[in-house]
Chains A and B, each alone.
Chain A
Amino acid sequence: MSKQVSHLGLIILFWVVSLIIGYMLYVAIRLIAFDLPYLIENWEAFANVRSEAVLFLIILNFALSAYFLFPLWSFRKFLKNLKESQTFAERNISLLEKFSVGLFVFILARILIEVYWRFFTNMTDTYGNEVPVQYSSYVALFLFALSIRVIIHLLSSGVRLKQENDLTI
Chain B
Amino acid sequence: MKTSKIALHILYWLSNILIVLMLYSVLRYFIIYFPNSIKYWDILVEELGSMAIIEKISFITLLFLPFIPVIAFRNFMRNLRKELTFTEKNIKLLKKVTIGLIIFDLIHIIWYSIVFPITFTIDGQPAPCLIPFQVTVLFFALLMWGLRHILSNGLSLKQENDLTI
Q: Which residues of A contact B (CB under 8 A)?
A: 1-5, 7-10, 12-13, 16, 79, 82, 85, 87-88, 90, 93, 136-137, 140, 143-144, 146-147, 149-162, 164-165, 168-169
Question: Using an 8 Å CB-CB cutoff, how does the interface string of B109-146 with A read, 1 for contact, 0 for none?
Answer: 00000000000000000000000000010011011011
Q: Which residues of A contact B5 (CB under 8 A)?
A: 153
Question: Knowing A2-B156, A156-B3, A165-B157 touch, does A151 contact B86 (C-beta < 8 A)?
Answer: no
Question: Knowing A79-B146, A143-B14, A168-B164 touch, does A150 contact B154 (C-beta < 8 A)?
Answer: no
Whether B160 pairs with A165 at a CB distance below 8 angstroms is: yes
Whether B146 pairs with A13 at a CB distance below 8 angstroms is: yes
Say whether B98 faces chain A, with CB atoms less than 8 Å apart. yes
Whether A151 pairs with B147 at a CB distance below 8 angstroms is: yes
Identify which of A9, A147, A169 contacts B11 (C-beta below 8 A). Answer: A147
Whether B2 pairs with A146 at a CB distance below 8 angstroms is: no
A4 and B151 CA atoms in complex are apart in Å by: 10
A164 and B80 CA atoms in complex are apart in Å by: 20
Whether B142 pairs with A12 at a CB distance below 8 angstroms is: yes
A75 and B38 CA atoms in complex are apart in Å by: 49
A72 to chain B, nearest CB (A): 13
Q: Which residues of B contact A (CB under 8 A)?
A: 1-8, 10-11, 14, 77, 80, 85-86, 88, 91, 98, 136, 139-140, 142-143, 145-161, 164-165
Whether B152 pairs with A3 at a CB distance below 8 angstroms is: yes
A141 nearest in chain B by CB position: B136
Whether A13 pairs with B143 at a CB distance below 8 angstroms is: yes
User: What secondary structure prevails in chain B residues at the interface with A?
Assistant: helix
Whether B156 pairs with A153 at a CB distance below 8 angstroms is: no
Question: Knowing A150-B7, A152-B3 touch, does A144 contact B88 (C-beta < 8 A)?
Answer: no
Whether B143 pairs with A144 at a CB distance below 8 angstroms is: yes
| Residue of A93, A151, A154 with highest tally of chain B CB at under 10 A | A154
Question: Knowing A93-B1, A153-B3, A161-B86 touch, does A88 contact B147 (C-beta < 8 A)?
Answer: no
A140 and B14 CA atoms in complex are apart in Å by: 12
Whether A10 pairs with B149 at a CB distance below 8 angstroms is: yes
A164 and B147 CA atoms in complex are apart in Å by: 22
Q: Which residues of A contact B154 (CB under 8 A)?
A: 87-88, 154, 157-158, 161
Whether A7 pairs with B149 at a CB distance below 8 angstroms is: yes
Identify which of B7, B148, B151 contacts A146 (C-beta below 8 A). Answer: B7
A3 and B90 CA atoms in complex are apart in Å by: 12
A57 and B74 CA atoms in complex are apart in Å by: 39
The 6 closest A-B pairs by CB, nearest first: A9-B145, A149-B7, A2-B155, A5-B152, A140-B136, A87-B153
Whether A158 pairs with B157 at a CB distance below 8 angstroms is: yes
Q: Which residues of B contact A16 (CB under 8 A)?
A: 139, 142
Q: Which residues of A contact B8 (CB under 8 A)?
A: 149-150, 153
Q: Which residues of A contact B165 (CB under 8 A)?
A: 168
Whether B161 pairs with A159 at a CB distance below 8 angstroms is: no
A137 nearest in chain B by CB position: B136
Q: Which residues of A contact B1 (CB under 8 A)?
A: 90, 93, 156, 159-160
Whether A158 pairs with B146 at a CB distance below 8 angstroms is: no
Identify which of A87, A90, A136, A149 contacts B150 (C-beta below 8 A). Answer: A87
